[in-house]
């Protein structure tokens, strides 16, 4: 059985690296000669959202596999990570929507 702290750290590290890489990919597709940057936020958000869907599916599939292996702690960590971050992102989004 893997260490739950290492397991959690690696999944969060994968999320952070993926968000950075998807942001870079989204920025590289934008026109550098543009006059208005209002669409930049949406392009980056869509790229991050697409990555997040893949990360979410990875965690759900891994949780299913961990359940078959009878590793309940790691399965629960995956499920918490998969369903905690959408709520966290929604709360952060609402916070910034309220203060603007």
Query: Are the C-beta atoms of 43 and 30 separated by less than 8 Å?
Result: yes
Region of residue 36 (left: phi > 0; alpha: psi -120 to 50; beta: else): beta
Listed as ranges, residues in the chain with pLDDT below 50 are none
Mean pLDDT over the full length of the chain = 85
pTM: 0.78
Model pLDDT for residues 50-72, shown as the tens digit of each residue: 888 999 999 999 999 999 999 99
The ranges assigned to domains in the chain are 4-30+38-99
């Amino acid at each position: 059985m893997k260490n739950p702290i290492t397991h959690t750290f690696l999944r969060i590290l994968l999320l952070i690296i993926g968000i950075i890489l998807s942001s870079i990919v989204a920025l590289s597709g934008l026109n550098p000669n543009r006059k208005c940057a209002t669409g930049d936020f949406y392009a980056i958000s869509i790229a991050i959202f697409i990555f997040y869907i893949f990360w979410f599916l990875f965690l759900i599939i891994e949780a299913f596999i961990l359940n078959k292996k009878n590793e309940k702690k790691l399965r629960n960590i995956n499920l918490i990570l998969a369903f905690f971050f959408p709520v966290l992102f929604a709360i952060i989004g609402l916070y910034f929507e309220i203060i603007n």
